[in-house]
Amino acid sequence: MRKIPTNSQPAPRKTELPLDLSGPHVTPNASSQHRLYQALCHAIVGGIVKPGEPLPPSRTLAKQTGFRRNAVTSAYERLIADGFADATVGSGTFVAARIPARTADARKTKIAIEAPQQGMFALGCTLIDDRAVQRFRSFAGRRLRAFGREHLHYGDPRGSLELRAAIADHLLSARGLRCDPDQIMLSSGTQHALRIVLSAILKTGDQIWCEDPGYPAARKAIEYCGHRPVPVPVDQFGMRVARGRAMAPSARAAYVTPSHQFPLGVQMSMTRRLELLDWAKDADAFVFEDDYDSEFRYDGAPLLSLAGIDHLQRVIYIGTFAKTLFPGLRLGYCALPERLIGPVTSARAALDRYPGTLLEGAVADMLNSGAFAANLRKVRGLYREARDALALTLATASDGKLSVPVPSQGLHLVARFDPSIEPLVASQAKAAAGVEGWLLAETYHRARPLPGFVLGFAGHPIPQLIASAEKLAKASLAALRANRKPDASGTGRVKRVKRKALPSRSAV
Ligand SMILES: Cc1ncc(COP(=O)(O)O)c(C=O)c1O
Q: Could you please report the per-residue DSSP string of 183-251?
A: GEEEESSHHHHHHHHHHHH--TT-EEEEEES--HHHHHHHHHTT-EEEEEEEETTEE-HHHHHHH-TT-
CB 422 within 8 A of CB 495: yes
CB 221 within 8 A of CB 189: no
What pLDDT band is residue 188 in, cutting at 50, 70 and 90? Answer: very high
Degrees (nearest 5) of the Cα angle 273, 257, 255?
Answer: 85
Write down the pLDDT at residue 500.
46
Q: What is the CATH number of domain 32-108?
A: 1.10.10.10
Q: Is 87's pLDDT higher than 80?
A: yes
Checking DSSP bridges between strand 228-235 and strand 207-212, what pairing results, if any? parallel
Write down the pLDDT at residue 6.
38
Work out the angle between the directed axes of helices 360-369 and 161-175 (0-180°, nearest 10).
Answer: 40
Regarding the beta carbon of 215 and ligand 1, being less than 6 Å apart is answered yes
Q: Where in the chain is the domain with CATH 3.40.640.10?
A: 130-373
- Centroid of ligand 1 to alpha carbon of 369 (angstroms): 25
Of 61-75, 283-297, 390-404, minimum mean pLDDT range: 61-75
What pLDDT band is residue 493 in, cutting at 50, 70 and 90? Answer: low
What pLDDT band is residue 310 in, cutting at 50, 70 and 90? Answer: very high
Q: What is the CATH number of domain 377-507?
A: 3.90.1150.10
Write down the pLDDT at residue 301.
76
DSSP annotation of 26 reads S
Residue-wise pLDDT for 419-445, tens only, equals 999 989 999 999 999 999 999 999 999
Work out the angle between the directed axes of helices 371-397 and 360-369 (0-180°, nearest 10).
Answer: 80
Of 108-122, 191-205, 257-271, minimum mean pLDDT range: 108-122
Q: Is 11's pLDDT higher than 70?
A: no
If one counts every other C-beta atom within 10 angstroms of the C-beta of residue 160, the result is: 20
Regarding the beta carbon of 189 and ligand 1, being less than 6 Å apart is answered yes
Q: Where in the chain is the domain with CATH 1.10.10.10?
A: 32-108
- Centroid of ligand 1 to alpha carbon of 9 (angstroms): 64
Residues 6+ apart with CB under 8 A from 81: none
- Centroid of ligand 1 to alpha carbon of 84 (angstroms): 46
Residues in the chain: 508
What is the fold of 130-373? Aspartate Aminotransferase; domain 2 (3.40.640)
Q: Is 5's pLDDT higher than 60?
A: no
Write down the pLDDT at residue 492.
53
Write down the pLDDT at residue 12.
56
Q: Is 473's pLDDT higher than 80?
A: yes
Checking DSSP bridges between strand 315-320 and strand 286-290, what pairing results, if any? parallel
Report which ligand 1 atom has the smallest distance to the Cα of 290: 3
- The DSSP bridge partners found for residue 234 are 239
Please count the CA atoms within 13 angstroms of the CA of 488 that sit on its side-chain side: 0
Write down the pLDDT at residue 486.
65
Question: What span, in angstroms and rounded, lies between the C-alpha atoms of 291 and 274?
Answer: 17
- Centroid of ligand 1 to alpha carbon of 105 (angstroms): 36
- The full DSSP string for 403-415 is B----SBSSEEEE
Residues 6+ apart with CB under 8 A from 474: 397, 433
Regarding the beta carbon of 238 and ligand 1, being less than 6 Å apart is answered no
403-415 average pLDDT score? 97
12-26 average pLDDT score? 78
What is the SS3 assignment for 117? coil
Q: What would you report as the CA-atom Rg of the chain, rounded to the nearest whole angstrom?
A: 30
- Centroid of ligand 1 to alpha carbon of 338 (angstroms): 25
